[in-house]
Amino acid sequence: MNKKTIFSAAGIAAFLFFGCFSLLGERNLTNEPLRANPPSSVEDINERVVFLTDYDEALATARRENKPALIFFMSEDCKYSRQMLRNAFVDPDVERLSRSFVCVEIDVNDPESDRVCDVFDVAATPTVQFVTSYGVALQRVTRLQSGEELCDQMQIALTSAAWRSAHTADDLARR
């Protein structure tokens, strides 16, 4: 075999290998197995993780229920936002932990969301911003997250919110 034959064979093998991925459509970039029956729309997700769509209402609910808020900044035309809705937000652990938050979904393309996007300086989707029940920023994630990664971030946010709440209560008691 000469070098030209070897390179031709390697090129054909590479084309067949990588070409198969493009035939499969959207690739799963999270290394997370795709769900057998992924939800087809935002409405289907709302049956699993309850998202409010009004930030002010969500913050009022968070104060009333004494819970931190998870703000999911997304766009319907962002494939990574759709991937998070289909994969991360249907993860059983994420679903379970979401009950400890008031979750709000903000569509960055909606003109009514401009104020909230400005407050949190959102420049890209998907972005997940965790805040206290009074809207104080805890942490944020600005990239596609798998269910496991999002679950880890949610646990950190819960710990941060509890710590902040305890120290705020101590500060108020000392006054």
DSSP result, 93-151: HHHHHHTTSEEEEEETTSGGGHHHHHHTT--SSSEEEEE-TT--EEEEE-S---HHHHH
Q: Is residue 125 part of a domain?
A: yes
Q: Is residue 61 part of a domain?
A: yes
Give the tens place of pLDDT for each residue, 74-129.
999 999 999 999 999 999 999 999 999 999 999 999 999 999 999 999 999 999 99
Q: How many domains does the chain have?
A: 1
Quote the CA–CA distance of 39 and 82 in Å, as a whole number.
10
We report the CATH number of the domain holding residue 145 as: 3.40.30.10
Q: Is residue 147 part of a domain?
A: yes
Q: Is residue 146 part of a domain?
A: yes
Buried b or exposed e, range 135-150, using 16+ CB within 10 angstroms: beebebbeebbbbebb
State what percent of residues in the chain have pLDDT above 90. Answer: 59
Residue-range definition of the domain harbouring residue 115: 42-174
pTM listed for this prediction = 0.69
Q: Is residue 150 part of a domain?
A: yes
Q: Is residue 110 part of a domain?
A: yes
Q: Is residue 9 part of a domain?
A: no
pLDDT given for residue 96 in this prediction: 92
Q: Is residue 116 part of a domain?
A: yes
